[in-house]
Amino acid sequence: MKEIIITGLLFCALATASAQKKKAIFIIIDGVSKDVIKKVATPNLDATGVWFNKHNVPDNAIKAPNYHYPTIFRLFEDQFPGRKTAIFSSWLDNRTKLVGEGLAQTGNIRLDYHFDGLELDTVKYPHDKSRKFMSDIDQAVTDATVSAIGETAPDLSWVYLEFTDDMGHMYGDSEQFTDAVELADRRIGQIWAAIKERKEKYKEDWLIIVTTDHGRDEKTGKGHGGQSDRERAAWIVTNVRLNDHARHAKLVSVVDVLPTIARFLDIKLSSDRQRELDGIPLIGKVSLTRLTAAKVADEIKLTWAPAESEGKVKVWLATTNKYKQTGKADAYRLVSEVPVEQGKFDIDLSQETASDFYKVVVEGRYNVVNRWVVGR
């Protein structure tokens, strides 16, 4: 699995009153590997879902996304239809394909505000070979984000900046690439300054998460998409106080972002959706992490890392995958309840109907984790 490393906190979290309105903004800087972030000067960053086997989006083509797995926007709007969502992006497909705005499969979701599609405006942004037009678009996206934060402050926003990846593809590990990273950092600084001003003026509680979507190839830095450590390792920065899972485990996953935002914004997830999410919240309490599942003869051997010393976990088992195929809930059977501190359990399959596919869920008091076991 692709894992990412939290490299630091943006700003120290401050205690906030429960009455404060919560707002979240998620920013992706395209194609910046962890080693580059560590060595390039990024003073603003220093200061401030599910996996592919489910969502079916392995690359930029986005040919057949599986909308049975909802985005954070759908989860948020389902619970808070009166609150505001926004996307600021240098790439139109983020809204039309990834979020799936206006599609029947996504419940005809509509974002309240969007600023995107500028890459299609070749009059205002003529496509020069140096890709300067994309830097100009990223700046326009940043300016629009800053303006919206100051004027209307959407409750949930996604910002996407592309220019870094362009420079990586063109020049690889180079001065041009590091310059692009430093420029992206300055743009993050603009957005963070607008948030700080908003926080001070309206006493709002903001979560900001900044990350990347992939690293770069080991040899030149021009490519990505392979399985090298440099391509798979990424980074996250945020302004909130992290839980022990995030602070002590060191390695966390990109899929942890969705449950983290959901917990911060008080989005209540149904048991069916909790069982499908692959991530673990990086804030608040958790019961268990690092679940493993391996089929050995007529058993599925489970292990996990307990995150609390008291209480029990429920072990659930299903042999269908209706959720992925139709969006309908699978029929889980409660196998057992065991102490969370036990950290392991063996599921006896001798009494189960033979199958080459099992979905295992371990449900704790504070979080739920799952694994698929494929093959006889």
Of 276, 296, 317, the one marking the end of a domain is 276
In a domain, 192, yes or no: yes
In a domain, 21, yes or no: yes
H helix or E strand, kind and range, residue 35: helix 34-39
One domain, residues 340 and 234 = no
Q: Indicate the residue type of 79.
A: Q
Angle at 315 between CA 285 and CA 250, to 5 degrees: 40
Of 215, 242, 276, the one marking the end of a domain is 276
One domain, residues 249 and 269 = yes
One domain, residues 354 and 242 = no
Of 218, 248, 276, the one marking the end of a domain is 276
The DSSP secondary-structure symbol of 234 reads: -
One domain, residues 244 and 311 = no
One domain, residues 196 and 316 = no
Domain holding 249: CATH number?
3.40.720.10
One domain, residues 226 and 329 = no
In the prediction, which pLDDT does 17 show? Answer: 41
In the prediction, which pLDDT does 234 show? Answer: 74
β pairing state of 85-89 and 156-161: parallel
Strands (DSSP E) contained in the chain are 4-9, 22-29, 85-89, 113-115, 156-161, 205-211, 235-238, 251-252, 288-296, 299-306, 312-318, 333-339, 344-348, 357-363, 368-374
Per the structure, the complete domain to which residue 331 belongs is given by 288-374
Express each pLDDT in 210-248 by its tens digit: 999 888 888 888 878 888 988 887 788 899 888 988 887
Q: Which residues of the chain have pLDDT under 70?
A: 1-19, 49-63, 249-251, 376
In a domain, 46, yes or no: yes
The sign of the torsion formed by the CA atoms of 109, 110, 112, 116 equals: positive
Q: Within the chain, how many helices (H) and strands (E) appear?
A: 13, 15
Beta bridge partners of 363: 314, 368
One domain, residues 183 and 91 = yes
Cα 18 to Cα 15, 53, 264, 302, 321: the distances in Å are: 9, 38, 12, 38, 39
One domain, residues 352 and 253 = no
The sign of the torsion formed by the CA atoms of 12, 196, 8, 6 equals: positive
In a domain, 314, yes or no: yes
In a domain, 281, yes or no: no
Express each pLDDT in 284-320 by its tens digit: 999 999 999 999 999 999 999 999 999 999 999 999 9
8 Å CB contact between 26 and 209: yes
C-alpha atoms less than 13 angstroms from C-alpha of 91 in its C-beta half-sphere: 19
Distance CA 297, CA 244 (A): 35
One domain, residues 120 and 161 = yes
One domain, residues 83 and 230 = yes
* Total number of domains in the chain: 2
In the prediction, which pLDDT does 320 show? Answer: 94
Put simply, whether the predicted model's pTM sits higher than 0.85 gets the answer yes
In a domain, 90, yes or no: yes
Domain holding 310: CATH number?
2.60.40.10
Assigned token pair, 182? 């430093």
Distance CA 133, CA 148 (A): 22
Strands (DSSP E) contained in 10-104 are 22-29, 85-89
H helix or E strand, kind and range, residue 231: helix 229-232
One domain, residues 202 and 350 = no
In the prediction, which pLDDT does 222 show? Answer: 85
In a domain, 260, yes or no: yes
In the prediction, which pLDDT does 323 show? Answer: 93
Residue with tokens 């990412």: 4
One domain, residues 292 and 366 = yes
Cα 138 to Cα 60, 166, 309, 341: the distances in Å are: 18, 12, 47, 48
In the prediction, which pLDDT does 262 show? Answer: 97
In a domain, 282, yes or no: no
